[in-house]
Amino acid sequence: MTNKGLADGLFTDDAPVGETIVSVGPVAAPVKVEASRYTDSGWAAVEADKLWPATWQLACSLDHVKAPGDVFVYEVGVLSILVVHGADGELRAFQNTCLHRGSELCDGHQQGLSEIRCPFHRWSWDLEGRLREVPSRRGFGSLRNDELPLIPASVDTWGPMVFVNPDAEAEPLHDFLSPVPEEARWADVDDFRCKALLSIPVKANWKTIIDGFSETYHVQGIHPEMLRMVDDVNSPQTIWERHGRLTQPYGVASPRIRGGASNQEIWEGFVEVMGGRVGISDPEAAGECPPVGDGETLRDVLAELIRAHFLATEGVDLSRFDTTQMMTMEQYNLFPNITVLIFGDLLQVVAARPGATPNDGFMDVMAFDRVEAGAPRRDPVTAEIEAGSYSMGMVVDQDIANVERAHRGLHSPGLTHLTLSGEECRIINLHRNLDRVCSD
């Protein structure tokens, strides 16, 4: 179940865990990845045994557990983890299992709890995980509360995002994520508040889902509307030990457009794809391209329009972010299953989780609003929805519509391997890290 030499010809240094950076180099030949990794129950079993019980994963936002007594249940495969805001103000995580006979303790997202009580036989624990009540205790003979605390898991945060690891002795989250938080420090991600966490069940492996957010080679096929307003070719990628980054400029035309595009065409493309950032929800209302003054670029003009719209509608001053920070997307792919999209005014996260079979998964979309520093937290919309039942924006809608088709083709008996290029280095790095974790 391994791809020997997966990094050959792509990464200049197959660095050990803890090294800082692995740089992207030219590809001498296409990189082959076994298609069975996406469809085989044996490979899924290895992931269930070695990956998910020992890996940091995005569970929810701080808005979901903003007050004492708030509990959020995160599920990945057969594993279930409780994120609990304790009465003492501390955030904790526990395995979602009763120490009596193993029943799950909680479902979904709950607020204002004073205890965690099993619905089966009504054993209860306090919010710090200490056993507090056992009905008909006499029947158990000598039973000590301090011998039966809830089973701990690891929990920590990056900005407004809450991560969990089922392993209570996991390496610190900051070390696991490094150097991503440092690289994204400019974005002040602490100032974002979650407005929605929507989970979408799809007939696709979790890797098929996240692969769609790990390269932009597909823009020409799935998102042709973007070609007028994004450079999908000259977008630098960086590969670190576990994670990767794409730095992609918006407000310029793709080199794939022969003869280029005028400012008017770029403007119309920008409005069609993300006009909400400048206050235009209807692409037909784009009108004439705003004037571009001497010494300015259209990117400068768009950045200022976004700042002005954000100040007028949200009351938040974004003047501290320059044109590059407003108009160049930083996309971070966090091993194994998370992509984080950042602009000066925008934070969006997509995560993929395994479902009941290798051919089922969940796509979680977490959307955030930027607010003034220290603004109160809110109650996010949190729901599981059917694919296509709610628009998440043109680009994400197109990705969702494509993922099941992309996965069905992996079952073709003649397809033994995926054939990947250097542009798909973040997908290759995912498999490189899966080799490390799942082959130990």
pLDDT in tens, 364-407: 999 999 999 999 999 999 999 998 898 888 899 999 999 999 99
Contact status, residue 307 vs residue 320, Cβ threshold 8 Å: no
Tell me the mean pLDDT in the region 153-170: 98
Residues spanned by the domain of 90: 57-169
Q: Does 232 score more than 50 pLDDT?
A: yes
Residue 294 lies inside a defined structural domain of this protein: yes
Between the alpha carbon of residue 154 and those of residues 295, 310, 414, the distances in Å are 51, 37, 43
> What total number of domains does the chain contain?
2
For the chain, give the mean pLDDT: 93
Tell me the mean pLDDT in the region 112-122: 96
Residue 421 lies inside a defined structural domain of this protein: no
Residues 235 and 162 in one domain: no
> How far apart are alpha carbons 212 and 403 in whole angstroms?
7
Strand 31-34 and strand 417-420: the pairing is antiparallel
Q: Does 13 score more than 50 pLDDT?
A: no
Residues 322 and 266 in one domain: yes
Q: Does 8 score more than 50 pLDDT?
A: no
Point out the domain boundary residue: 127, 142, 169. 169
Q: In sequence order, what are the residues at sequence separation of 6 or more whose Cβ sits closer than 8 angstroms to the Cβ of residue 383?
A: 197, 198, 199
Amino acid (1-letter code) at residue 437:
V
Closest of 167, 180, 207 to residue 429, by C-alpha: 207
Name the CA dihedral angle for 131, 132, 133, 134, rounded to a multiple of 10 degrees.
30
Residue 391 lies inside a defined structural domain of this protein: yes
How far from the centroid of its chain's Cα atoms is residue 196's Cα?
13
Residues 21 and 92 in one domain: no
pLDDT of residue 369: 96
Tell me the mean pLDDT in the region 408-420: 96
Residues 341 and 205 in one domain: yes
The residue with greater pLDDT, 136 or 390, is 136
Neighbours of 88 (CB within 10 A): 9
The CATH code of the domain that includes 368 is 3.90.380
Residues 144 and 195 in one domain: no
Residue 175 lies inside a defined structural domain of this protein: no
Residues 100 and 200 in one domain: no
> How far apart are alpha carbons 252 and 385 in whole angstroms?
34
Residue 75 lies inside a defined structural domain of this protein: yes
Q: Does 359 score more than 90 pLDDT?
A: yes
> How far apart are alpha carbons 241 and 334 in whole angstroms?
10
Residues 249 and 394 in one domain: yes
DSSP conformation letters of 191-221: GEEEEEEEEEEESS-HHHHHHTTS-STTHHH
Residue 336 lies inside a defined structural domain of this protein: yes
Contact status, residue 149 vs residue 86, Cβ threshold 8 Å: no
Contact status, residue 219 vs residue 230, Cβ threshold 8 Å: yes
pLDDT of residue 25: 57
**pLDDT digits over 52-61, tens only?**
999 999 999 9
Residue 301 lies inside a defined structural domain of this protein: yes
Q: Does 293 score more than 50 pLDDT?
A: yes
Residue 436 lies inside a defined structural domain of this protein: no
pLDDT of residue 252: 97
**pLDDT digits over 70-89, tens only?**
999 999 999 999 999 999 99
pLDDT of residue 17: 38
pLDDT of residue 390: 86
Closest of 53, 48, 32 to residue 427, by C-alpha: 32
Contacts 24+ apart (CB under 8 A), 170-178: 170/54, 170/56, 173/56, 176/56, 176/242, 177/56, 177/243, 177/334, 178/240
Q: Does 2 score more than 70 pLDDT?
A: no
Structure tokens at 126: 């306090």
Residues 349 and 406 in one domain: yes
The CATH code of the domain that includes 153 is 2.102.10.10
Neighbours of 398 (CB within 10 A): 18
pLDDT of residue 440: 65
Query: pLDDT over 70 for what percent of the chain?
Result: 94
Point out the domain boundary residue: 169, 203, 220. 169
**Of all residues in the chain, what percent are helix, strand and coil, respectively (each to 5)?**
30, 25, 45
Residues 281 and 223 in one domain: yes
Q: Does 189 score more than 70 pLDDT?
A: yes
pLDDT class of 426 with cuts at 50, 70, 90? very high
Place of tokens 């991560």: 163
Q: Is 402 exposed, middle or buried (CB count within 10 Å of its CB: 0-12, 13-18, 19+)?
A: middle
pLDDT class of 26 with cuts at 50, 70, 90? low
Residues 18 and 115 in one domain: no
DSSP category for residue 424: G
Q: Does 433 score more than 80 pLDDT?
A: yes
Residues 200 and 297 in one domain: yes
Contact status, residue 202 vs residue 363, Cβ threshold 8 Å: yes
Residues 160 and 283 in one domain: no
Q: In sequence order, what are the residues at sequence separation of 6 or more whose Cβ sits closer than 8 angstroms to the Cβ of residue 60?
A: 72, 74, 83, 109, 162, 197
109: which strand partners?
A: 72
